[in-house]
Copies of this chain bind each other. A is one copy, B any other.
Amino acid sequence: MSKTVLPSGRVQPRFAGICTFLRVPQVEDVASENRPIDWAIYGVPSDAGVTFRPGARFGPRAVREASQYIKPYLIEQGVHLAERLSIADAGDAPVNPYSCRQTLDGVAAFASKLGEARQTRLLAIGGDHSIAYANLKATWERRGKPAGGLAVIHFDAHMDTVDEVWGEKWGHASPFRRAIEDGLIDPKSMISIGIRGTLNDPADLNYARQHGVTLVKFDEWRKGGPQALAAFVSRLAKRETYITFDVDAVDPAFCPGTGTPVAGGFTSAEALEAVRSLRGINLVGADIVEVLPDRDVSEITATFAAQLMAEILGLSA
């Protein structure tokens, strides 16, 4: 029997039925059968932290819908998700659209109660990137608050280590600044891939570099990036590692549905290949953020995010 019970395509085609992420059962249904949960996926419908274009609050809904067409067997990884993992949809975390901070507190509290701490890993679907802080915090706590912080593999066009914007320290430009300050992550075991474009000034790149983050700008990625990532991963060994993926890492042609697009990024093939190359890491949590459905076209951004969700889950199978 599969570890995750998916609805039969015989009675419920992929365009039918109430949507859960990847069509997996809801957390309560799995819990009612006393089955363990390897991964709890939950949405964070918040864009309280954005600095430019809002709307990522509709991201979880769009990714749930696009993920209906994702099937359990991953061709490239050669893994059958449902047979190897017990996955459940935990619904959406509570949010306060008028407050970043209250939203983050609520999300962390919600996430801390999902499944069983050591067993159940958390995959958060944003929402804007500010929510990564909350999922990182919940993950770090579930892992017993490791002293050095978690290792992080970070895909993004932006470094997200700005101190504050318009007086707000918890917005989507700042999650990794806060996470470093609070010891949730270890900047010396963090790699940021895909950084590019323009900034008001180079301060947040400098902050990252000064704290030891391995920074691979996208132009550098095109010249040896996969090798640099492989070297980083091999240094990690079995260190507890978190993946945070901002879809604006990918070029706007592939992910137009995002709030701060930057021309000149990954193709989706390059990005998926990079993620698949991470097999073997000790993955303890992840997030996929910044899907903004109102800017999407033909749901290609949400479709990419849904595929990415499956690939990240597959890494641990």
Contacts and interface: CB of A to CB of B under 8 A. Distances in A.
Interface stretch (A143-151, A228-236, A280-288, A297-305): A297-305
A16 to B, nearest CB: 4
A1 to B, nearest CB: 15
In this complex, the interface size class of chain A, counting residues with CB under 8 Å from chain B, is 35 or more
A89 B18 contact: yes
Q: Is the interface of A mostly helix, strand, loop or mixed?
A: loop
Interface of A: 9-20, 26, 43, 45, 47-48, 50-55, 57-58, 60-61, 64-65, 69-76, 78, 80, 89, 91-92, 94-98, 100, 165-168, 171, 195-202, 205, 217-219, 222, 251-254, 256-257, 260-269, 271-273, 276, 294-298, 300, 303-304, 307-308, 310
29 contacts: A12-B92, A13-B45, A13-B57, A14-B51, A15-B52, A16-B95, A17-B45, A17-B91, A18-B19, A18-B89, A50-B97, A55-B294, A69-B260, A71-B197, A73-B200, A75-B197, A96-B167, A198-B307, A222-B273, A251-B254, A252-B254, A252-B268, A252-B298, A252-B300, A254-B263, A263-B300, A264-B273, A265-B269, A296-B298
